[in-house]
Amino acid sequence: MEAEQEVLGKILQGLDKLRTRVDTSFIEGLIARLSKTADKEMQRFLILKIIQEYERLEQLFPNLDASYPLIKVKEGIEVGNLLYKGQPISRFSLSVEDLNRNVLVIGSTGHGKTSLIMNILLQAEKQGVNYLCFDMKKDYQFLGLSKNTVYISSSNIKINPLEPPKDVSMQEWAVHFADVFSDSFALLVGSRDYLLENTMGLFSEWDKQYPPSLSDLLKYIEVYGRRNDYFKVVRGRISGLLMATEIFDCNNGISFEKLNDKNIVLSMEKFGQPEGHFLVSLVLSRFYYHSLAKGRSSSFKRVFVIDDAHMILDANQEKDYAKGIPILQYILSKIREFGYGFIFSDQQISSIISSAIQNTNTKFIGKVNLLPDLYKILPAEYKLAPEIGNSENGEFIVINDSVYPFSVFKADLVKTEKYVRSDLIGLKEKIDSDFFVYFKNSDKDLKEKELLEEISKNPGSNLRGHQLALEKIINKEDFNTLKNKLISEGIISELSILMEDEKTHKFLFIKSAPNEGLSNNNLMYFDEKSFFSYLMRELVARHLKSRKISFQEEVSGFLIKGLIKTYIFIEQDVIALSKLLETRFDRVIFIVNDNMNKDDIIADMLKEGDAASLLNFKTLNLMYFYEFKKAF
């Protein structure tokens, strides 16, 4: 009995630590009953029950150190390890709900913020979550190499502030445009109302099939608005913006609705702070008001990344209504209801507007220069200075409802070495232009613009597919007439591919050397070699998936592993092919253009190689696409 009493004494001491982690009412009820009973047998029984219950609780919480976090394991996006005294104790995951409730990442330069965010985005993408990254310093450029990601460089961004999102009327959009412009360029309420009045006036008189541009609005104000006291202020803001950048001076800009199933990286390194704020506000407004028109969503759609958040969400510029409508803060608080979330990143907490901080559920805090900043977002009882001061690169304090009260966190590394090659980034940027083609106002026929946009948007579609996509606005006869006209002018070209059913399918692409008059539209062009490679990447992947053949996508083709290690080479580069043959593959299939002769290709390879390289040819099979489909 004395031994049991001694154990009971230790249990009472241990309960003080367990109370902060779990409901101890059951075991404490047993202890209360023990103190009231004089029956020896009942006392022994109760002591044994108390010991059993305490052992159960100890198994749930083997470490009762106050600094050992209480962890609630959940499924989601694994992004790193939770640490205790420098050693991993659990994996840490962010759920889709966590992303929807926003994430804040704070840390000094070089601490690992960008790597952590990139890992979150890459893991989220695997679970079907798209992202849009506002890249202030080209830190996220390599993400653009992903096939499902569109990288838009600052020189290619085109957004018409007066172009309403889908399902939003011009009159409604006039109000939102006036709010966004006023918020970004510090217009007072009177100037904002003047801007709105003139925007509504321009919209009511506009009778063209494309939306007016910012230049059109400036001209309208100069003609109809000179007598108003607000004329100089508003005219000065618009003309100043047009002089600073051409990004917002177009009739048809990037269609984010058409990029709905893509990840997007917007490069913003060349933007000033007001212009950057205006761009981000416009983009988010387009997503928000388009979603508002469609209604609330039960599914999570996209996460937005605002890196160097103070550039857009500057705490020193928090506004009241007298200084402009704080539309961006309003959208940040409302847009999550429609299936969107944010990741904010910066070096200091004090640099970001309070509304962004308050609306974050998960916080990663690395080394910071101003420790007092932390207590703007943390309870005073959190003693984090030692952990933050001792943290290494890639280590953060994580605060999330699955970790109580907080934990040291080590982010998984993201390897980016293979992505930094400028030639690969340039090539991918070229391909991405297919997805955000825009057209400035010109004398070209609207149907011609629609056809070129369709070709750029769906380069893997055949001639019949393009025709069906445009049948509501272009009949078959007009389609063929227009196609032949553009081919004769050297603007587009046609590529024929024989399929396994002995039928020839025709594909269109915009040529790399168009006639004068199209080059200013910022379309991205292919020559025949690059287009054939791009087309084969689409068609081969589609065919392998349809046959349920497992494959790994490579820079120059596809690798099929198995008993016979097969590489399908699609680049039209015989030198690269010769180098590939030097590696160990059981079989290399080179898919060649239908208009090329196989013997000529072999002859070219022999000219480029040496005697030793001839031995590698035994693994090589040259195939036309229809032969490849029959073989697989």
pLDDT above 80 (res 60): no
Contact 395, 83 (CB under 8 A): yes
Q: Which two tokens stand for residue 508?
A: 């269109």
Q: How far apart are CA 439 and CA 621, in angstroms?
A: 43
User: Which amino acid would we find at residue 12?
Assistant: L
Q: Report residue 470's pLDDT band, with 50, 70 and 90 as the boundaries.
A: confident
Share of the chain above pLDDT 70, in %: 81
Residues pairing with 588 in the sheet: 567, 620
Place of tokens 């063209």: 208
Angle at which helices 2-18 and 40-60 cross, to 10°: 40
Place of tokens 């830190």: 139
From the list 133, 113, 118, the residue with the least C-alpha distance to 409 is 113
Q: What is the 3-state secondary structure (H, E, C) of 536-565?
A: HHHHHHHHHHHCCCCCEEECCEEEECCCCC
Q: What is the pLDDT of residue 306?
A: 92
Q: How far apart are CA 472 and CA 11, in angstroms?
A: 78
Report CA-CA distances (Å) from 566 to 376, 531, 588, 590, 615: 58, 24, 6, 11, 17
Q: Report residue 522's pLDDT band, with 50, 70 and 90 as the boundaries.
A: low
Torsion of CA 334, 339, 343, 344, to 10 degrees: -10
Q: Name the more confident of 618 and 187.
A: 187
Q: Report residue 611's pLDDT band, with 50, 70 and 90 as the boundaries.
A: very low
- Who contacts 468 (Cβ-Cβ below 8 Å, separation ≥6)? none
Q: What is the pLDDT of residue 271?
A: 85
Structural domains in the chain, CATH included, are 2-60 (no CATH), 442-526 (1.10.10), 536-631 (3.40.1350)
Count of positions (residues) in the chain: 632
Q: Name the more confident of 422 and 182.
A: 182
**Average pLDDT of the chain to the nearest whole number:** 81
Q: How far apart are CA 341 and CA 429, in angstroms?
A: 26
Rounded to the nearest 5 percent, the helix, strand and coil shares of the chain are 45, 15, 35
* Region for residue 509 given its phi and psi (left: phi exceeds 0; alpha: psi -120 to 50; beta: otherwise): beta
Q: What is the pLDDT of residue 32?
A: 86
- For 462, the 3-state DSSP assignment is strand
Place of tokens 């933050």: 388
What is the average pLDDT across 572-598? 83
Other Cβ atoms within 10 Å of 333 Cβ, number: 13
* Region for residue 548 given its phi and psi (left: phi exceeds 0; alpha: psi -120 to 50; beta: otherwise): left
Q: Report residue 245's pLDDT band, with 50, 70 and 90 as the boundaries.
A: confident
Contact 178, 214 (CB under 8 A): no
Q: How far apart are CA 455 and CA 435, in angstroms?
A: 10
Residues pairing with 352 in the sheet: 314
Q: How far apart are CA 348 and CA 369, in angstroms?
A: 8
Segment 486-506, tens digit of pLDDT = 887 788 899 998 887 678 899
Q: What is the pLDDT of residue 12?
A: 78
Q: What is the pLDDT of residue 419?
A: 47
Q: What is the pLDDT of residue 426?
A: 61
Q: Which of the given ranges, 49-58, 378-387, 454-463, has the highest pLDDT on average? A: 454-463
Segment 536-574, tens digit of pLDDT = 999 999 999 999 999 998 888 899 988 888 999 988 777
DSSP label of 391: P
Q: What is the pLDDT of residue 135?
A: 92
Segment 258-307, tens digit of pLDDT = 788 889 999 888 888 889 999 999 999 999 998 888 877 778 889 999 98
Of 81-95, 210-224, 372-386, least confident by mean pLDDT is 372-386
pLDDT above 60 (res 519): no
Contact 355, 376 (CB under 8 A): no
Torsion of CA 524, 530, 532, 537, to 10 degrees: -90
Q: What is the pLDDT of residue 132?
A: 95
Q: Report how far apart the first and last C-alpha atoms of the chain are (Å, whole number).
A: 78
Other Cβ atoms within 10 Å of 128 Cβ, number: 10
Report CA-CA distances (Å) from 392 to 57, 101, 112, 395, 411: 34, 27, 9, 5, 11
Segment 322-341, tens digit of pLDDT = 454 578 888 888 888 899 99
Q: How far apart are CA 590 and CA 374, in angstroms?
A: 58
C-alpha neighbours within 13 Å on the C-beta side of residue 596: 22
- For 159, the 3-state DSSP assignment is coil
Q: How far apart are CA 341 and CA 129, in angstroms?
A: 11
- 563 CB burial (10 A radius; 0-12, 13-18, 19+): exposed
Residues pairing with 559 in the sheet: 552, 567
At 241, give phi and psi (nearest 5°).
Answer: -65, -45
From the list 337, 263, 333, the residue with the least C-alpha distance to 304 is 263
Q: Report residue 443's pLDDT band, with 50, 70 and 90 as the boundaries.
A: very low
What is the average pLDDT across 385-414? 82
CA 461 to chain centre: 25
Q: Report residue 349's pLDDT band, with 50, 70 and 90 as the boundaries.
A: confident
Place of tokens 């241990």: 14
